[in-house]
Structure 1
Amino acid sequence: MSESSTLAAADVLAVLGWLPDGRHVASAAIAGAGNMNLVERVTFDDGSTLILKRARGWVEKYPDIPAPIERAEVEAEFYATVAGTAAGTAMPQHLGFDKSQAANLFEDLGEASDGMTAYSGQLIGDDALDALADWLHQLHNLKTPANARLANPKMRALNAIHIFDYPLDPGNGFDLDSITPGLQAVADRLKHDGEFVAAVRRVSERYLGDGPGVLLHGDLYPGSWLTTPNGLFLIDPEFCWIGPREWDVGVLIAHLRLSGQPEASTERLITRYNDALDQALMNKVCGIEIMRRLIGVAQLPLTLDLAAKTALLDEARTLVLASTI
């Protein structure tokens, strides 16, 4: 598998035999604001479209950060695992994978919007919450065979740095005051809070360990779903892994908190999900996700002031150290 693909989208489709019969590529344009991969909408001369998604040896949004190119193969394995299941019907149709180009081909869902507007004050409606809870329930209850590829150790190793290590590294050099004046001092207090750091480290060890669990999406935030005229669809499972169900639920609840959704939204999600959850573990995951999104490199388009971010970081500490929400 090459470290990067320099071929144009049209050439990739031709080389791989993915050009639909009798059609030619009219154009290819970036589809959405993806972080990890090169994602293009390919338009053919008859007006039909497909989505070509390619992994390269770096994070697409941050080319100076190396990333395992094997993530394309992991994503293909995820789609193969959910194919024909209820969880699979709420994802785009996967049309092909090629290891040499680290490429996946998908149907184009057409007119769609992701959930990122939640961070600017838009309410995540009950229909969307129910669809997310139902999809998680379906995914987590799949009979997933033991699969080394879905364990996804290389992507977990990359993710662990940015979830657990970098945000709490006193010497990371990340200027938080350039994002929100005064945030650096608030973050520094957490970085030197031994009890908090130790608790985060224990969750990190569980994240990086191998053990029984369920198939997880691994990065379920508002950028990972699309709302279309045909309903809500989940995308981008390249951070998937086999682990505790509390991971996906806790991460999603963190983003309900970060986007200012009402408490009733969290309650609805958990009730609809309708599976037993380890409250303490879910809280820790939620708190760590809030922390890393506020003081780590994976920033969100938040409009929060220092007081609001400080309150969320205080809540994150409480969640990590407490046993209940």
Structure 2
Amino acid sequence: MKTHYIQITLLALLLPVLVIAQSTKIGLAKNGTKLLVFPSEIDFTVLGDPYNFVEVPFDKKGSKYGNLIIGLQFSLSSNEQSASTNYSVITEEGTIYDFQLFLDPSADNSTIRIRPEMGTMSINGNPGKRTNLQQAIEMAEQNDSILPPKHYYKEHSPKKEDSDVQSYQGDQQPLTQELYESDKEEYIRRKCYYNQFNKGSIVRYFSRKDNIFLWLKEVYYDHDELYLLFRLDNEETIDYDVKLIRTSIGTNYRKSSSNQKTPFPADHRYKIPKRVKGNTSNHFFLVYDKFTLDKNKNLVVQLDEINGNRNITLEIDRNQINRPKKF
């Protein structure tokens, strides 16, 4: 593994940039080491500020996992009270991961497992590309998550089993216009069921608390409904118990102290989990009647934990809501 102390702007000029997303922020305390574990071997790294921030490579230490792990520290010799820098990691498969490092006295030293979807761009044109085996493993983990045995698809509607969606032959039942007109709730339920494990095309749109990640995977549009597909990743060892998921429309005026949130509940909810076991994932849908946002508003998704403080807030901007993918 090679380390280059150059600005990331120079790197961007040298590589064919195909996909760009905002960098992941990582806070570092003045003592301890934070480990990043990557899905494939590290080829080389770029650290913008080698004076206040320190890399701890493990590829020369004889471990078979050394090429997958990098350690990060804030320099003990630094007198800075506030510092930040860019940091990029390029893996052997050509995926580039961008991070923003900053001094955070309250940061813990928990290990962060980097997922392929967190890649900001790819030299070969496939950001965050996963092998078929990785996708199969991920699917198995999702199926093992603890979910409600039945699901509400609209408030006060009766609960139904997922098994009701499939015919006795196990084939998908057709999603017809007749079904939509006669039983819209059933149509939406089947639509969610058939598409709950879609990979999605939205790259690196997430919020996190410690190692709990809430990802927006896709925004779909069909008939008069918007379908928002999420994935909740629990990369901690302790289970994550969901207290509630609430959504609102929030204003995002810059430099304003009067930004407000207006409750905006989903019209249909599919597979909202009760509990996500440690080191597993869960997909779920929030479905809304068609709406759009102006440039000063976001859809705010808030996830709260039972008897815990690992609460997550994800703000979804108008570019995602107003440009859905057609089902």
Same fold by TM-score greater than 0.5: no
TM-score by length of 2: 0.31
More strand by share: 2
Larger gyration radius, structure 1 or structure 2: 2
